[in-house]
Each structure stands twice: as C-alpha cells, then as structure tokens.
Amino acid sequence: MTGTSSSRRLFLHVGVPKSGTTFLQASLARNHDALQAAGVLDVGNRRETFLAAVDVRGTHDAWGRNREDVAGAWAKLCKRARRHDGTSVISQELLAAASADQVTDALAPLRGVEVHVIVTARDLARQAAAEWQEGIKHGRCMRFEQFRRHMTAVDTETDYAQKLRAAQELPGVLGRWSAHLPRERVHIVCCPRPGSPPEMLWRRFAGLLGDHVADLPCAGREHANASLGSLETDLLRRVNLALDKRLPQPDYGQIVKQLYAQRLLATSSSPRPVVPEGMYDDLRIISQRWVKELADGGYTVHGDLDELVPEPSRVPAPHPDDVDVERQVDVAARATAELLLELQRNRARIAQLEHQHTKLEKRRKKLKRKLSRSG
C-alpha cells in the first residue's frame, strides 16, 4: 500500500484501549455534520465499528455473537471509505490487538486508499490503573496485585498476559500496523500529562484530519469512559466472582457494565485507583524502553514521547486493593436499592406494554369480525 496516489485518504485510529479513545469518538460524533461539511467522513457509528473490529479479529464468540452477526462488517466500512472522495476516519480501539495476519487482511480491502494509522498512547501508570478497571468492567475478577504481576513480569505467558500485551504493548501494536505502510503514515498521538485540558488531545488528533477540524469543539468530560473509584471497582470484582460467568455477553455488557457499573456505581465518589508507589520504577523502565523503540521507529509523533513516561503521583493514594469494607457495604446497599427500583420500573413498562397489546388485540379481533360480516 506504499504507492497509492489516490485522493482518498483514510485515518484509521486503532487504539490503544484506555487512551482517550471514547472521548475522541464522542468528539467525532459531536462534530459529525461539521466534518461532513468539511469533506471529512466519519465512517461508521460506535456499533458499526465495534462489529467491524470483532469481524477483523474473529472474536465474535467472546462477545456473545454469531459469526453471521459480524461477517462483512469490516468490508462494509472499507467500501464506504473507498467511495468517499476525500478524507475519512475510522476509530475503534479493539483493532489494536489485531495479529499481523489480521492486520494484513484488514488493509487488503483498502488498496487504492492512502491509509494512515493512528495510535493514541498515554503514560503507563494511568494506563495500568485504567486497564485493570476496564478488565473488571468486562467480567474479570483479579485483584490489582494479580494484574500487576501480569503487566510487569516479562516472562508471564498466561492467556491474559498475552492479551494484555497484544492490546497495550506499544512497540508491538505499532510494529504490526506499520508493516505495510510508510512510517510517515503511522502516527503516535501522545496523551498530554494529567491536568492538561482535554482540548489538547483533541487538537493533536483532529489536526491530522485538517487544521480546520482541530478548531472544532471537543466533547465534554461527561463523554469520557465512566471511571470507577477503587472501592466501586473492588465491589464490581466481587459481583463478578458471585456471578461466576453465569451472565455471558452481550447481556453482561448491557446489564453489568452499562447499567450497574457505569450508571449506578459511577455515581459514587471514592478515589480513582492509582498504581502503588512501588510500581512506578517498573513502569518507568518499561516506558523508557518503549519510548526509545518508538523514537527509533521513524513514526510521526504528535506531542512528546516523554509524556508516555509516568511520573509518581504527588498525592498519596491507597493501594487499589485496600478498600473500606464498611463504606463498600453502604455503596452496595445503595446500588442494590437502585437496581430494585430499576426492576420495578421495567416491570411497570412491561405491564403497560402488555395492557396496550391486549387492547390492540381486542381491536384487531373486532375489526376482523366487522370485515367478515361486510364480506
């Protein structure tokens, strides 16, 4: 794909997960009409890009889908990008973990399109805490210390450690996605340091689509992926243990992640998980090695690679596994109460729908009798 001279240009944002991807996707959605007016096509909504990524990676079973549910979803997005005479963008973080063969297959339908790959990245300390929490939101049950061993031990070859590296190890992600592209068309967008305005990340990302795009407003903080505090994350971990995989996808995602975690638990206010102080040295060593590899890789960098090296928190924070159990019981009681109210509201909706159905059925039978008499 190195010799294309087409006016069709696709910016393919492949992740990595937990690097501001939800915020950037919400910003693209907010500016859909303005992007279209500027000749930039946002290819596919959140559901379409999700199904397309599952199609590319062949992970339909893990997400509770049939192969038929996702087959052709990626080809459909590629077809839209090929038809658009100008700049288009696809953003889906699940693509980060695609294997080398899957990357090759994913790029094949885009021949004739000038493909640029974007990888957003942030410092490993924030990334580690967010990735652990996200894993709990997807049904995992490990304490932070277990997660820590998977993340920092280079010789760990468990299935989970391999999946973690596939999605989060920056040199590997960039190496796979750059294999068929000129390095100048592979972009690293660095997430700014904590405390920076969210507009900074949006401008770095959107500037790739055009200077006029970077001036568009970004989404508000409420559109970022809802984060839980350490107490709520541990509570959800205990719920996952109690569920014991009895609620498979996609029901788990809809009921536990979206309703219980992101609507009910996210309203509580315990401090967000922060990696323990003793972990920073390990993460700095890993990050510094990655930064050197990325600097030597010839990629186009937006921001500063030094922003990917974590700095210890200046505010003391408890270990993510150390939670106030008594306070946790209060949070669990409130969440249970809200779940019961939601159950009652759903029962009322069902009763109303059943009543409407009964009325419509009576009306249908009455009309049927009238028609039979008139005939």
Confidence of residue 162 (pLDDT cuts 50, 70, 90): confident
- Taking 70 as the threshold, does the pLDDT of residue 323 lie above it? yes
Q: How far is CA 145 from CA 80, 151, 158, in A?
A: 45, 10, 15
Across all residues in the chain, what is the average pLDDT?
93
- Taking 70 as the threshold, does the pLDDT of residue 182 lie above it? yes
Contact 244, 154 (CB under 8 A): no
Higher pLDDT: 313 or 256? It is 256
Contact 227, 262 (CB under 8 A): no
147-167 b/e (C-beta count within 10 Å ≥ 16 → b): bbebbbeeeeeeeebeebbbb
1-5, 38-42, 91-95: range with lowest mean pLDDT? 1-5
Cis upstream peptide for 310 (omega within 30°): no
- Taking 50 as the threshold, does the pLDDT of residue 326 lie above it? yes
Q: Alpha-carbon torsion 167, 168, 169, 173, what sign? A: positive
- Taking 70 as the threshold, does the pLDDT of residue 287 lie above it? yes
140-154, 191-205, 350-364: range with lowest mean pLDDT? 140-154
Model pLDDT, residue 153: 75
Model pLDDT, residue 176: 98
DSSP annotation of 18 reads T
**Residue 120's beta-bridge partner residues?**
189
Separation of alpha carbons 232 and 226, rounded Å: 12
CA 373 to chain centre: 60
* Per-residue tokens: 304: 């500063």
DSSP conformation letters of 86-114? SEEEEE-GGGGG--HHHHHHHHGGGTTSE
- pLDDT, tens digit, 9 for 90 and up, residues 265-278: 998 779 999 999 88
Model pLDDT, residue 220: 85
Model pLDDT, residue 281: 92
Model pLDDT, residue 5: 46
Listed residue (300, 10, 334, 336) closest to 182, CA to CA = 300
How much is the average pLDDT of 82-110? 97
- Taking 60 as the threshold, does the pLDDT of residue 291 lie above it? yes
* Rg (alpha carbons) of the chain, rounded to whole number: 24
pTM of the model: 0.91
Phi, psi of 65 (to 5 degrees): -110, 160
- pLDDT, tens digit, 9 for 90 and up, residues 299-314: 999 999 999 999 887 7
Model pLDDT, residue 223: 66
Model pLDDT, residue 161: 85
What is the three-state SS of 48-61? Answer: HHHHHHHHHHCCCC
216-225, 318-327, 356-365: range with lowest mean pLDDT? 216-225
Separation of first and last alpha carbons in the chain = 68
CB-count exposure of residue 103 (10 Å: 0-12, 13-18, 19+): buried
Model pLDDT, residue 375: 65
**Residue 300's beta-bridge partner residues?**
187
* Per-residue tokens: 96: 């980060």
- pLDDT, tens digit, 9 for 90 and up, residues 192-204: 999 899 899 999 9
- Taking 90 as the threshold, does the pLDDT of residue 118 lie above it? yes
| Angle in degrees, CA 254, 15, 155, rounded to 5 | 95
Which strands sit side by side in the sheet containing 40-42, from one edge to the other?
40-42, 87-91, 9-13, 114-121, 186-190, 300-302
Per cent of the chain over pLDDT 90 is 84
CB atoms within 10 A of CB 275: 26
Confidence of residue 3 (pLDDT cuts 50, 70, 90): very low
Contact 58, 16 (CB under 8 A): no
CB-count exposure of residue 116 (10 Å: 0-12, 13-18, 19+): buried
- Taking 60 as the threshold, does the pLDDT of residue 344 lie above it? yes
- pLDDT, tens digit, 9 for 90 and up, residues 29-84: 999 999 999 999 999 999 999 999 999 999 999 999 999 999 999 999 999 999 99
